[in-house]
Amino acid sequence: MACWRHLFSVITPTYNRAHTLERVYRSLQEQSFQDFEWVIVDDGSTDTTRTLVQGWQQQASFPIRYVWQPNQHKKTAFNNGVRHAQGEWLVAIDSDDELDPNALYHMAGVWEQIPPAQRARTVAITGLCARPDGRVVGDMYPLDVMDVSSLDMTFRYHVRGEKFGCLRTDVLRQFPFPEDIPGFVPESLVWRAIARAGYLTRFVNQVFRVYHDEAGSLSSEGRAADSGRHALGLWLLAHDTVAYCLGWFRYQPLSFFAAAIRYTRFSLHLRAQRVARPAGRRLNRWSSRLLVASMWPAGAALYARDRLRAATARIKRPVAT
């Protein structure tokens, strides 16, 4: 069993975000619970990030470790942070967000409330996000405390919106983000794989994170779902839904029809871009193949719309003189 130096490792992947990183630093300075370290994984920044962090290392009340890597991708930076983490629990916060002042204190308290016999199956403690004005982002949970898998929370209880919490470092090391897949990879792929392995999450209706939605952050990757820019990552998520999650179909069939549409839509984008789909991801179940086939016309229609919009945007783009 690993010997942890801290209860929490706060991980922040960052790239050229020196102008917002101080927001994270201030929120960590204000934490009422101080048994944590801050691991900053710099994904090849060319701004003043290194100098800024070196100054904080001299004055912070908590240890700060700076890990630099050549520019690769957020998923690689996250994996790197997990490898360097010396905390039992990992809290991943973006370089432009902040923690509620009592976030770590409440997370530690929730962990203490979980019965010892249940802790081996508990992989995460997940709460809510709020905007700077205090409004909760997305849905609240049906009950104030729930011990279910992340797949149940998504499909059975229909909870939507940005959520936030901590995850066990030892389990995350067993489920790294796939670095062999280029570009954007949805985080949901990792959380779903962990859920299918039998792990539960304790969900609580408590705000842990103050959410700032700013352009240019690493977490904003993949939000352009109306184009083929992130076709591979979006196809992977659709494939995961129709191939491995059909056990939840009865709770939310419309979500599965939508995933089948996206499967075809982004598959066609990949074909047009001459990008090969990752090996070993065939639809082996007849139910999955039938679902995708029934939604093929809708997926093809959305793909055609994407191409038309892209062509129209190119025509309207001003010509440089």
Instruction: State yes or no: pLDDT of 7 exceeds 90.
Output: yes
* Number of CB atoms found within 10 A of residue 147's CB: 15
Query: Which of these, 187, 179, 216, 251, lies nearest to 20 by C-alpha position?
Result: 216
Mean pLDDT of 47-55: 96
Q: What is the pTM of this model?
A: 0.90
Tens digit of each residue's pLDDT (9 = 90 or more) over 82-95: 999 999 999 999 99
Tens digit of each residue's pLDDT (9 = 90 or more) over 114-149: 999 999 999 999 999 999 999 999 999 999 999 999
3-state helix, strand, coil in the chain (%, to 5): 45, 20, 35
| Confidence bin at 107 (pLDDT 50/70/90) | very high
* Number of CB atoms found within 10 A of residue 211's CB: 22
Instruction: State yes or no: pLDDT of 233 exceeds 90.
Output: yes
pLDDT score, position 222 = 41
Residue 71, classed as helix, strand or coil, is coil
* Number of CB atoms found within 10 A of residue 226's CB: 11
Instruction: State the Cα torsion 214-82-25-102 to the nearest 10°.
Output: 100
Spatial separation of the C-alpha atoms in residues 164 and 178, rounded to whole Å: 22
Mean pLDDT of 309-319: 80
Position 195, amino acid: A
Residue 226, classed as helix, strand or coil, is coil
- Contact between 93 and 10 under an 8 Å Cβ cutoff? The reply is yes
pLDDT more than 90, % of the chain: 82
Query: Which of these, 9, 64, 1, 3, lies nearest to 35 by C-alpha position?
Result: 9
Instruction: State yes or no: pLDDT of 213 exceeds 80.
Output: no
